[in-house]
Chain A
Amino acid sequence: KNEVEQSPQNLTAQEGEFITINCSYSVGISALHWLQQHPGGGIVSLFMLSSGKKKHGRLIATINIQEKHSSLHITASHPRDSAVYICAVNGNYGGSQGNLIFGKGTKLSVKP
């Protein structure tokens, strides 16, 4: 079993829909990251959080530490949101705080 699991693996939505991508993890963490990988391959950090909720534009990320679960929400989705969304965590002990453990990603396609 992977330490970071994402669902769904693939998601197709119509423009304007509210989208939720889920991430569950099985290790102790010091932070959780949501990353966006563009079709061209570049990776951009969207959020880094260790508690609560963060919002940036149409994107909202939440985390529940007790349940070891995080969600990424996209409101009023747009075709330009089409990308792979990756959840990753920093461990919370010693050297593991440095490297990221990644989920396999969720491929989102938003149709006009």
Chain B
Amino acid sequence: GAGVSQSPRYKVTKRGQDVALRCDPISGHVSLYWYRQALGQGPEFLTYFNYEAQQDKSGLPNDRFSAERPEGSISTLTIQRTEQRDSAMYRCASSLGVGGSSYEQYFGPGTRLTVT
């Protein structure tokens, strides 16, 4: 079956513009996660959802970042008034459920965001 998909794969935007990044999880996966990965670094957690409920948004850097998953499937990560420091790979992952040993996370290909 289809894996996690993300769009766009690459996005170049000018400083100050808003961007919306989309994640389409594996069908039936309850949990959806957003991560950010700077070049040469490991990913860092941004936020995650169980169904449509945002469970934890403690990793969002500031209030310019928001995410939603209104119908418990597709999710959108929105960055308002982008800044150059927002440039990174934004990764989405999904899993069958939340918690410990039961659920492996499946990662999408990422969206490479460049803010000029």
Count residues of A near B (Cβ-Cβ below 8 Å).
27
Contact between B104 and A98, CB atoms less than 8 A apart: no
Closest A residue to B89 by CB, please name it: A41
Q: Is the contact region of chain A dominated by helix, strand, or loop, or is it mixed? A: strand
Q: Does B56 contact A (CB under 8 A)?
A: yes
Mark out the residues of chain B between 90 and 104 whose CB falls within 8 Å of any chain A CB in the assembled complex.
91, 93, 98-101, 103-104
* Complex contacts, A98 vs chain B, CB 8 Å: 31, 33, 48, 50, 55-56, 98-99
| From B56, B93, B100, B104, contact of A30 by CB (8 A) | B100
Docked Cα-Cα span, A42 to B98, in Å, equals 22
* Complex contacts, B50 vs chain A, CB 8 Å: 98
Q: How large is the interface on B (under 10, 10 to 19, 20 to 34, 35 or more residues)?
A: 20 to 34
* Complex contacts, B104 vs chain A, CB 8 Å: 33, 45, 48
* Complex contacts, B41 vs chain A, CB 8 Å: 104-105
Docked Cα-Cα span, A103 to B93, in Å, equals 17
* Complex contacts, A100 vs chain B, CB 8 Å: 33, 35, 43, 45, 105
Closest B residue to A32 by CB, please name it: B101
Which of A14-22, A67-75, A89-97 lies at the interface with chain B?
Answer: A89-97
Contact between A101 and B110, CB atoms less than 8 A apart: no
Docked Cα-Cα span, A14 to B106, in Å, equals 30
Seed contacts A30-B99, A98-B48, A98-B55; 4 additional CB < 8 Å A-B pairs = A33-B105, A41-B109, A43-B91, A100-B35
